[in-house]
């Protein structure tokens, strides 16, 4: 077992993303649907045993139990992170700091390391979160909306005459499928842009937007703000948290 090896796991509502980090770079990364326990088991069976396991988990109790079972062959006890009042240079201004999702917290820490100034941190997964960081590393607060797929699903399931068809973004949609998809993208882009405008007033300058998540590439072209797509922000944040909480450099 290499004392520097860290297994970082981002367990979300839909997917499990993971990476094996040696203190300098990622040796291996992967992704699986939460229900694909057998796939994760097969991929992790061949991994070099990690010295530490850090997990951001926002899924349900069953998926947490499944992950615990997959970790059991290794000696390292999994560390399930939670948001705190201050960590890695970021101050959490949530009324109850622990209530902030561990995925959002890890992504904020990664964004602060990346930017070192005020910015928006946007994750576009099952839900979309838009979180604001100040120029001094303060998490000011953020919003949560349904993501691309969930927003369309809610609309279709609650409107009898609509069918689940794949649409495309159009300036002036001329089909119902395109109207639904375009409306969804306008709604999400509008939420990001309103938060960007608000944060610009607070900061006194226009913030960059750090964009990640499964539909980041879809959303980016619709945004009229400066954006940067960065993959696996949660995993990057977990590495920083591990580094701060360990005497062994990671």
Residue 98, Cβ neighbours under 10 Å: how many? 12
* Catalytic positions, written as ranges: 103
- Burial letters for 201-233: b for 16+ Cβ neighbours within 10 Å, e otherwise? eebeeebbbbbbbbbbebbbebbebebeebebb
SS3 content of the chain, % helix, strand, coil (to 5): 40, 25, 35
The answer to whether 107 touches 115, Cβ cutoff 8 Å, is no
- Token digits of residue 221: 């072209």
The answer to whether 42 touches 69, Cβ cutoff 8 Å, is no
Distance CA 185, CA 96 (A): 31
Strand positions, DSSP E, 58-177? 78-80, 86-87, 90-92, 119-124, 127-133, 138-146
137: left (phi over 0), alpha (psi -120 to 50) or beta: left
Which residues lie across from 19 on neighbouring strands? 8, 29
């Amino acid at each position: 077992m290499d004392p520097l090896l860290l297994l970082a796991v981002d367990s979300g509502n839909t997917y499990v993303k993971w990476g094996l980090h040696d203190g300098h770079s990622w040796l291996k990364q992967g992704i699986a649907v939460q229900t694909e326990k057998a796939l994760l088991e097969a991929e992790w069976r061949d991994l070099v045993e990690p010295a530490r396991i850090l997990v951001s988990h926002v899924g349900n109790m069953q998926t947490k139990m499944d992950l615990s079972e997959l970790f059991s062959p290794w000696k390292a006890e999994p560390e399930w992170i939670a948001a705190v009042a201050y960590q890695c240079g970021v101050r959490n201004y949530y009324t109850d700091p622990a209530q902030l999702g561990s995925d959002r917290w890890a992504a904020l820490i990664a964004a602060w390391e990346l930017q070192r100034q005020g910015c928006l941190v946007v994750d576009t997964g099952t839900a979309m979160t838009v979180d604001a960081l100040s120029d001094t590393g303060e998490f000011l607060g953020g919003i949560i909306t349904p993501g691309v797929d969930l927003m369309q699903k809610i609309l279709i399931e609650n409107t009898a005459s609509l069918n689940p068809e794949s649409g495309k973004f159009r300036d002036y949609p001329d089909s119902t499928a395109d109207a639904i998809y375009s409306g969804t993208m306008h709604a999400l882009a509008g939420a990001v842009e309103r938060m960007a405008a608000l944060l610009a007033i607070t900061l006194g300058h226009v913030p960059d937007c750090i964009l990640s998540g499964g539909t980041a590439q879809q959303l980016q072209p619709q945004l009229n703000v400066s954006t940067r797509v960065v993959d696996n922000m949660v995993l990057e944040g977990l590495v920083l948290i591990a580094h701060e909480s360990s005497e062994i450099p990671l």
